[in-house]
Each structure stands twice: as structure tokens, then as C-alpha cells.
């Protein structure tokens, strides 16, 4: 089972390394205290306006305490005198002014790992929430509804027939022998005899409550469903998700129940992961405004691709109706989320004026979550929800998505239920401020979306957004321009201590963490005896940048540090050559450089092109470490990606696609000949990606100034071109059609 599970747990990959970040005991709130104090002394007013959401929330949303206490006592007495109705399907609205629907059904516990192995997405998640709500007397005050299986015709509006057939039949006897094999081929999925029923109930439950809320039979509702849904795509289960429950309910309201008058739906996805499946479902649909705030880290956080970046705004009539807020780092908390609410979501929601709101309510951004690494508190969720209740006449449906710390999800769900029942003042009294990176992201999103949402065009106060570097930028190597004004020096010095917690784990991240040292030592010593030339054509032509792959660290303008190679010896030789291959720039952004295109080399040679390349003589072992860092840095290297057999065969084959890092952009190793009898290798995209560039599915894109400067610096310092020539060379590669 271990093999199957390791596949089912891909979603966990990427958290492994961040684990060291998450596990450091001192939180930003404590460490950052000095930071905020200093900042307050400099720009107090700006900061206060940045976090005033706390105060306003507290003021406007609280009820008188005594009134509230009385109400609670009254409710308590009523609950005590009545029978426990939590297991009956009854409508009881006498105790609450608002009619709040609630669905919990134990049958959704049937989906579990086939061999009983531990998995974070397990049945205890929903029972923990249910038990917590029961203890707090919540079910008695809600309209309890039965879970219903969704009908195929509704699911088919979002998923392919093949996919629906697969999920319908996967739990049947005929699949007993192949179920595990099918799951192992999917990305982060397990399947068992209970999966079909659970998936149909989860989708059906969200439909059920959405319809009732749309009809006005309920004011709002919460469905405690699993498996979650927002990663599930048209033809693919992934990321613990089988059917896209929220997308199915949304399309049901719009297309199956037009008489209910739901014409505009706001879907808010606050799960810590990007709702890729939901985004794709409504990509071209202006009736659904999809808003997702998630950890992204330039494409390194699950689902680890470009889809969750803020440049993904929808297409055709749906352009502008897809809003991504991609965190650049973990540890985001209430202050960060509230800043995004106040400066993006709420103003846009006002303009959009939805008829109903469906929340993909994952609680894996909650403090304590083992996968999310963020710090949203139950009160934080309460305020986020409360702010949304001002829209769509409070018609809100919450559907559970992720969330893997049982206490955190239960407490967060309870906080949300209390908001839906409108029985609790909602406030946060916190001194925390948003990260610097949060302001940067907010500004970027507003700029990108302002063409569609005029309200976002207003400038944010400069001082609010122009604060000094966030921790990870301070990681810049000696290349960085030191801040020269006094105030920032003070901040930097005081930040050093706070930053250490972040820096150290990052720098300690060697590729070998979590590995079977013995196995890896074996292949490493084998490959360390063979040299190759690694031919670079992009920013790596600048030696200082390339050395980050060997020695670890980062140079100016890089968004994050490299972990480096196990063998930190510098290249034995460096030389320059030109090759008859086409250089071009593509993608909107990269993990390492942020927005802007990055360099690719056409894998096929041709007579017309001439590309400068800087060749480094390194060992095959080091080449493997570079290959890893260029592609999927979270992959475990228990075996080499490119071994001696691959090196033997590549002169005949011409190229070698490295399956293990196929998610990366540079997984295609290309053979460029020999120099002094040593093979010359480079890495670039595959031919199929070239086709996607040609079709415009992936954009060709000029590099950012920072990236182009790094590349030019390599060419100039390598004495290949003058500065002007280098600029012209890059411009030509950018302008020429592929």
C-alpha cells in the first residue's frame, strides 16, 4: 500500500519542505512585534488604515454583550428542555431568526483509504466537525436536511461522461481488481468501495442546499461534505477531489433552475489551495465570478502550476470574472486575508452584486493545519464570512473542501455556523499586520483586474504598499543592493532575528532531506565520477546565478533561494559556444523570477538560429541536482533523474524526457554534441510544449527587466557581447515569431 499511498499523497508534496517553515515555534505575531512597533513609529497611520478592518469589524458587528448573553441562556434552556434532534430531519426555526440549513451524513465517511492507511483526507474530518457542532447545540437550531445523491445529468454539466461513469462504477465489484491501479495513476487520489456513494452524496448535498437557499426556503446553509471538490476537473479526479461539488451546484442553479432567478453567482474559494477545477468550469462564463485566495508561491504549491496566478482572469465573455489572489509565501493569517477582502473581494462583490454566494470552505488555511501552513483563526473565518453576508441578501452556501487539523476545522466550522445563525459578535483584536508580500499581491491583482472592475483602479495609498522588504527578499545574496535609507536599516536589523526563523529552514533545505541517505549516497557516488557540460542559455549564463544551483542561495531579483546541490564544488571549467537552436521567451511568470517570460530553447536545431550558451563542466551528480531545481524542487531523489544509461543513450536519441519531473518546464534534456569528448547537455521544454506555445495556449512573453538584465550580465561578463549587443540579442529573441 505504501506505493499507492505515496501517489495519493502528492498533494502533501511541497509541504514537506515547508514543514520546516511551519514547525518553527515562534509565530509572526510574536516575532513580528518589534517589526510592527518600529513600523508604527514610522508610518503609523498607514498601518492603521491597513488593519482598520479589525476595528470596523468589531464595531459594526457586535451586539450588546448582555443582550447576547441573555439570548444564549434562553437558547441553552430551550435546548436542554428539548430532545436531541440532531439525528432527525426536522425543521426547527423557532430558536433562530435565520433559517440555516445543515447537512451531515455519515455515509460520506465510507470513502476511505482501501487498506486503512492514514491519510489526511479521512472520515474523521467530518465527524469532528459534526461532533463539535453538536456539543455547541448548533444542529438543534438549524434546518437539518438529508444528503441526496446527485443525478448524473447535473454532474455531467461539469464533468465528462467518462469521468462520471468512472466515479459511478469505481466502487462496484467489477473494479475490485483494478481500483487501486486506477487511483495510482491519478494525482493525489485514493478510491475504495465507498467512494462512489460518498462522491454522489457530496455533490448532491451541495445542490440540495443551494437550491433551498436560492428558493428562499433557507437563508443560508452549511454542508459538511467529503470528498472535497474544487480540484476535480472536467475529466479528472485529483487532489483528494472526485466531483467538483461547488461547480456542479453553481451550474445547476444557473442552467437547471432558471425559474429561481439566480443569474449571478459569486464563488469564494478560501481553501488554502487553488480551486483549479472550479476556475476551469467557469473560465468563459460571466455569470460566475470565481474568486480564489490560495498559496501559490509562483507555482510551487499544490496544484503546482500557473493556473492560480493572478494573470489568469478568465477568457472571452468570462474575462475579468476569475480572480486569483496567489500568496507568495505561507503563514498568511487573518490580517492578510482581511486585507484581501477589504481591498479586492468586497469592492468587486459590490460591483458584481451576486444573487447568491457559494463558498468553497476549505479550512486548511486555518492555524494548525498540517498542509496549509497558514494562520487564519476561527474568528478570522467568522469575519471573512460576516463581510460576505452583506451581499446577495445573505444567501450564502458553505461547502466543506479541505482542512486537515481536526480541531482547527471543527472550531472554524463552528465559528462560521455561529455567524450564519447571527448569534455572535464578530471581531478580531489582533495586532498583526499583513505581510509586505500581501500588499504586493493585492496591488498586482488590482492592477490586473482594474480593466474589468473600475473600483480596483483607485490607487492604494502608496505608503500602504511601499513598505520595506518582506523576510524572504532579505535573503538576497551579496549581490543585492543594500537599502540605504536609515529607516529601512533599522527595520532590517530588527527583522534579522525574525527572519532567521525563515532563512534558516530555507537554507537548510538540502535536496537530501527526508531521503534514504544510503540509497542516495550510492547513486550519487556513482555519478560523481562522470563529468558533463551543462549548457545554459538563460539567466544561468550569469555565473553568480548559476552558482545558486550549486552553492544554494539567490541573487538579486530572484523570488526565492535555491537549495543548491549536495556537492557544492564549483564548476571545473566554463566556456562559451553558440548553437544552431532557437532561443525564445515564454510564460507569464516563473517561480524564480515572478512576472515576465523566461528563456526556452527549441529542442530541434536549425541552420538559421544562433544561440549563445555558457557551458559549465560539472559532475553528472550535480547535473541531477540542477535538473531537479530547474523543475520540481519538491521531488524526492531516491534515484537519479538522469543516470548513466540515459547519458549513454542520449547521443542517439537526441533528447531524454525526465518522467519524474514532467511537471516542470525544463524536463527535456537535450544533447548538443561533445567538447573534449565530454557530452554537452542542456534542459528545455518538450516538443509538445513548443506546439502549445505556437498555438498560443502558453503565451510567448518578453522577459521582465530583471530577468533580461541577469541574462545580459552573463553575456557581458562572459565577454560574448557588449551591453548594447546583449540587449539587442534578447530583443530579437523576444520579437521573432516561433
Of 467-506, which residues contact Zn ion (CB under 5 A)? Answer: none
Give the residue, chosen from 101, 326, 362, 597, that forms a contact with Zn ion under the rule CB under 5 A: 362
Give the nearest distance from C-beta 296 to Zn ion in angstroms. Answer: 13
Stretch that binds Zn ion, among 245-253, 263-271, 340-348, 474-482 (CB under 5 A): 263-271
Nearer to Zn ion (CB atom), residue 15 or residue 145: 15
Give the nearest distance from C-beta 436 to Zn ion in angstroms. Answer: 25
Q: Identify the CA nearest to 222 among candidates 385, 12, 6, 2.
A: 385
Of 665-684, which residues contact Zn ion (CB under 5 A)? Answer: none
Of 44-103, which residues contact Zn ion (CB under 5 A)? Answer: none
Could you tell me how far CA 541 lies from the centroid of its own chain?
Answer: 30
Nearer to Zn ion (CB atom), residue 190 or residue 623: 190
Phi, psi of 333 (to 5 degrees): -130, -160
Which 3 state secondary structure label does DSSP give 139? helix
| 231: annotated active-site residue | yes
Nearer to Zn ion (CB atom), residue 132 or residue 273: 273
Q: Are residues 330 and 373 in contact, defined by beta-carbon separation less than 8 angstroms?
A: yes
Alpha helix (H) ranges present in 216-342?
A: 245-251, 276-281, 334-340
Nearer to Zn ion (CB atom), residue 241 or residue 382: 241
Eight-class DSSP state of 511: T
Helix axes 620-630, 517-527, angle to 10 degrees: 120
Stretch that binds Zn ion, among 360-368, 531-539, 680-688, 701-709 (CB under 5 A): 360-368
Give the nearest distance from C-beta 196 to Zn ion in angstroms. Answer: 22
Taking CB atoms, the residue at the shortest distance from Zn ion is 402
Nearer to Zn ion (CB atom), residue 245 or residue 443: 245
Give the nearest distance from C-beta 733 to Zn ion in angstroms. Answer: 39
Stretch that binds Zn ion, among 96-104, 136-144, 396-404, 537-545 (CB under 5 A): 396-404
Give the nearest distance from C-beta 271 to Zn ion in angstroms. Answer: 4
Q: Are residues 260 and 214 in contact, defined by beta-carbon separation less than 8 angstroms?
A: yes
Q: Can you tell me the distance from the alpha carbon of 415 to that of 622, in angstroms, rounded to the nearest whole number?
A: 50
Give the nearest distance from C-beta 273 to Zn ion in angstroms. Answer: 4
Which 3 state secondary structure label does DSSP give 472? helix
Which 3 state secondary structure label does DSSP give 578? strand
Q: Kindly name the residue from 231, 273, 294, 602 that is annotated as catalytic.
A: 231
Of 96-155, which residues contact Zn ion (CB under 5 A)? Answer: none
Q: Are residues 303 and 239 in contact, defined by beta-carbon separation less than 8 angstroms?
A: yes
Nearer to Zn ion (CB atom), residue 362 or residue 596: 362
Q: Can you tell me the distance from the alpha carbon of 406 to that of 240, in angstroms, rounded to the nearest whole number?
A: 17
Stretch that binds Zn ion, among 284-292, 362-370, 568-576, 708-716 (CB under 5 A): 362-370
Nearer to Zn ion (CB atom), residue 18 or residue 712: 18
Instruction: Provide the mask over 265-304, with x wherever binding to Zn ion is found by CB under 5 A and - wherever it is not.
Output: ------x-x-------------------------------
Q: Are residues 483 and 468 in contact, defined by beta-carbon separation less than 8 angstroms?
A: yes
Give the residue, chosen from 101, 114, 373, 402, that forms a contact with Zn ion under the rule CB under 5 A: 402
Give the nearest distance from C-beta 364 to Zn ion in angstroms. Answer: 4
| Beta-strand runs (E) in 53-201 | 100-103, 143-145
Which 3 state secondary structure label does DSSP give 390? coil
Stretch that binds Zn ion, among 357-365, 537-545, 553-561, 634-642 (CB under 5 A): 357-365
What pairing do the DSSP bridges indicate for beta strands 668-675 and 678-684? antiparallel
SS (H, E, C) 621-646: HHHHHHHHHHCCCCCCCCCCCCCHHH
What pairing do the DSSP bridges indicate for beta strands 288-295 and 322-327? parallel
| Beta-strand runs (E) in 558-631 | 574-579, 581-586, 589-590, 594-595, 598-605, 611-619
Of 578-637, which residues contact Zn ion (CB under 5 A)? Answer: none
Nearer to Zn ion (CB atom), residue 35 or residue 404: 404
Give the nearest distance from C-beta 398 to Zn ion in angstroms. Answer: 15
Q: Can you tell me the distance from the alpha carbon of 571 to that of 564, in angstroms, rounded to the nearest whole number?
A: 13
Stretch that binds Zn ion, among 19-27, 259-267, 359-367, 728-736 (CB under 5 A): 359-367
What pairing do the DSSP bridges indicate for beta strands 265-269 and 594-595? unpaired
Nearer to Zn ion (CB atom), residue 277 or residue 664: 277
Instruction: Provide the mask over 303-342, with x wherever binding to Zn ion is found by CB under 5 A and - wherever it is not.
Output: ----------------------------------------
How many residues bind to Zn ion according to rule CB under 5 A?
5
Nearer to Zn ion (CB atom), residue 402 or residue 664: 402
Stretch that binds Zn ion, among 119-127, 402-410, 491-499, 632-640 (CB under 5 A): 402-410
Give the nearest distance from C-beta 362 to Zn ion in angstroms. Answer: 4
Q: Are residues 597 and 734 in contact, defined by beta-carbon separation less than 8 angstroms?
A: yes
Give the residue, chosen from 197, 307, 334, 364, that forms a contact with Zn ion under the rule CB under 5 A: 364
Q: Is 226 in the site for Zn ion (CB under 5 A)?
A: no
Q: Are residues 243 and 266 in contact, defined by beta-carbon separation less than 8 angstroms?
A: no
H or E stretch at 400: strand 396-400
SS (H, E, C) 73-92: HHHHHHHHHCCCCCCCCCCC
Nearer to Zn ion (CB atom), residue 273 or residue 343: 273
Give the nearest distance from C-beta 403 to Zn ion in angstroms. Answer: 7
Count helices and strands (H / E) in the chain: 25, 18
Stretch that binds Zn ion, among 104-112, 395-403, 623-631, 700-708 (CB under 5 A): 395-403
Give the nearest distance from C-beta 307 to Zn ion in angstroms. Answer: 14
Could you tell me how far CA 581 lies from the centroid of its own chain?
Answer: 35
Could you tell me how far CA 549 lies from the centroid of its own chain?
Answer: 24
Q: Identify the CA nearest to 183 among candidates 165, 171, 174.
A: 171
Residues that bind Zn ion (CB under 5 A): 271, 273, 362, 364, 402
Which residues belong to the active site? 231
Amino acid at each position: 500500500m505504501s506505493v499507492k499511498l505515496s501517489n495519493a499523497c502528492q498533494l502533501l508534496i511541497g509541504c514537506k519542505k515547508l514543514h520546516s517553515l511551519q514547525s518553527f515555534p515562534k509565530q509572526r505575531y510574536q516575532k513580528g512585534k518589534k517589526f510592527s512597533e518600529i513600523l508604527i513609529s514610522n508610518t503609523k497611520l498607514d498601518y492603521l488604515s491597513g488593519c482598520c478592518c479589525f476595528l470596523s469589524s468589531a464595531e459594526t458587528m457586535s451586539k450588546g454583550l448582555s443582550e447576547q448573553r441573555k439570548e444564549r441562556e434562553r437558547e441553552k434552556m430551550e435546548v436542554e428542555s428539548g430532545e436531541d434532534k440532531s439525528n432527525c430531519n426536522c425543521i426547527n426555526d423557532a430558536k433562530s431568526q435565520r433559517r440555516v440549513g445543515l447537512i451531515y451524513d455519515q455515509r460520506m465517511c465510507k470513502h476511505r483509504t482501501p487498506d486503512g492507511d492514514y491519510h489526511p483526507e479521512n472520515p474523521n474530518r467530518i465527524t469532528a466537525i459534526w461532533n463539535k457542532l453538536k456539543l455547541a447545540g448548533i444542529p438543534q437550531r438549524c434546518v437539518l436536511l438529508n444528503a441526496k445523491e446527485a443525478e448524473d445529468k447535473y454532474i455531467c454539466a461539469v464533468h465528462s461522461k467518462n469521468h462520471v461513469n468512472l466515479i459511478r462504477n469505481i466502487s462496484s465489484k467489477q473494479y475490485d481488481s483494478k481500483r487501486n491501479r486506477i487511483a495510482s495513476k491519478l494525482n493525489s487520489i485514493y478510491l475504495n468501495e465507498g467512494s462512489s456513494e460518498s462522491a454522489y452524496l457530496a455533490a448532491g448535498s451541495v445542490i440540495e442546499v443551494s437550491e433551498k437557499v436560492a428558493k428562499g426556503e433557507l437563508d443560508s446553509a452549511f454542508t459538511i461534505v467529503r470528498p472535497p471538490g474544487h480540484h476535480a476537473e472536467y475529466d479528472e479526479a485529483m487532489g483528494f477531489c472526485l466531483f467538483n461539488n461547488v461547480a456542479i451546484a453553481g451550474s445547476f442553479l444557473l442552467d437547471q433552475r432558471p425559474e429561481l432567478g439566480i443569474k449571478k453567482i459569486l464563488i469564494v474559494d478560501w481553501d488554502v489551495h487553488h480551486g483549479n477545477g472550479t476556475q476551469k468550469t467557469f473560465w468563459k462564463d460571466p455569470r460566475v465570478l470565481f474568486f480564489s485566495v490560495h498559496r501559490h508561491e509562483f507555482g510551487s504549491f499544490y496544484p503546482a502550476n500557473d493556473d492560480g496566478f493572478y494573470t489568469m482572469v478568465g477568457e472571452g465573455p468570462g474575462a475579468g470574472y476569475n480572480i486569483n489572489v496567489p500568496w507568495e509565501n505561507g503563514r498568511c493569517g487573518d490580517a492578510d486575508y482581511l486585507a484581501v477582502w477589504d481591498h479586492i473581494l468586497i469592492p468587486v462583490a459590490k460591483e458584481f452584486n451576486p444573487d447568491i454566494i457559494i463558498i468553497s470552505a476549505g479550512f486548511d488555511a486555518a492555524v494548525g493545519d498540517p498542509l496549509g501552513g497558514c494562520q487564519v483563526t476561527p474568528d478570522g473565518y467568522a469575519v471573512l464570512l460576516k463581510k460576505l453576508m452583506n451581499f446577495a441578501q445573505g444567501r450564502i452556501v458553505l461547502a466543506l473542501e479541505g482542512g486537515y487539523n481536526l480541531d482547527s476545522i471543527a472550531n472554524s466550522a463552528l465559528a462560521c455556523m455561529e455567524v450564519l445563525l447571527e448569534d455572535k459578535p464578530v471581531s478580531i483584536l489582533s495586532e498583526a499586520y499583513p505581510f509586505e508580500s500581501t500588499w504586493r499581491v493585492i496591488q498586482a491583482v488590482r492592477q490586473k483586474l482594474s480593466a474589468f472592475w473600475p473600483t480596483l483602479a483607485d490607487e492604494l495609498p502608496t505608503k500602504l504598499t511601499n513598505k520595506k522588504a518582506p523576510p524572504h527578499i532579505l535573503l538576497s545574496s551579496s549581490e543585492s543592493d543594500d537599502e540605504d535609507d536609515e529607516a529601512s536599516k533599522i527595520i532590517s536589523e530588527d527583522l534579522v532575528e525574525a527572519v532567521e526563523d525563515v532563512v534558516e529552514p530555507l537554507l537548510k533545505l538540502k535536496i537530501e532531506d527526508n531521503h534514504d541517505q544510503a540509497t542516495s549516497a550510492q547513486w550519487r557516488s556513482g555519478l560523481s565520477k562522470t563529468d558533463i557540460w551543462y549548457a545554459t542559455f538563460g539567466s544561468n549564463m550569469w555565473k553568480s546565478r548559476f552558482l545558486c544551483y550549486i552553492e544554494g542561495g539567490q541573487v538579486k531579483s530572484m523570488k526565492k533561494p535555491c537549495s543548491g546541490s549536495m556537492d557544492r564544488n564549483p564548476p571545473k571549467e566554463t566556456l562559451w559556444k553558440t548553437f544552431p537552436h532557437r532561443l525564445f521567451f515564454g510564460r507569464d511568470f516563473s517561480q524564480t523570477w515572478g512576472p515576465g517570460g523566461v528563456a526556452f530553447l527549441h529542442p530541434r536545431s536549425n541552420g538559421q538560429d544562433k544561440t549563445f550558451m555558457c557551458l559549465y563542466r560539472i559532475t553528472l551528480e550535480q547535473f541531477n541536482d540542477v535538473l531537479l531545481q530547474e523543475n520540481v524542487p519538491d521531488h524526492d531523489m531516491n534515484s537519479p533523474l538522469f543516470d548513466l544509461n540515459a547519458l549513454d543513450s542520449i547521443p542517439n536519441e537526441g533528447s531524454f524526457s525526465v518522467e519524474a519531473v514532467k511537471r516542470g518546464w525544463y524536463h527535456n534534456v537535450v544533447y548538443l554534441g561533445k567538447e573534449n569528448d565530454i557530452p554537452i547537455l542542456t534542459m528545455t521544454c518538450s516538443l509538445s510544449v513548443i506546439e502549445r506555445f505556437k498555438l498560443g495556449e502558453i503565451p510567448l512573453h518578453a522577459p521582465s527587466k530583471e530577468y533580461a538584465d541577469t541574462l545580459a550580465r552573463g553575456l557581458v561578463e562572459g565577454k560574448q557581447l557588449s551591453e548594447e549587443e546583449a540587449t539587442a540579442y534578447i530583443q530579437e529573441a523576444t520579437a521573432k515569431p516561433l
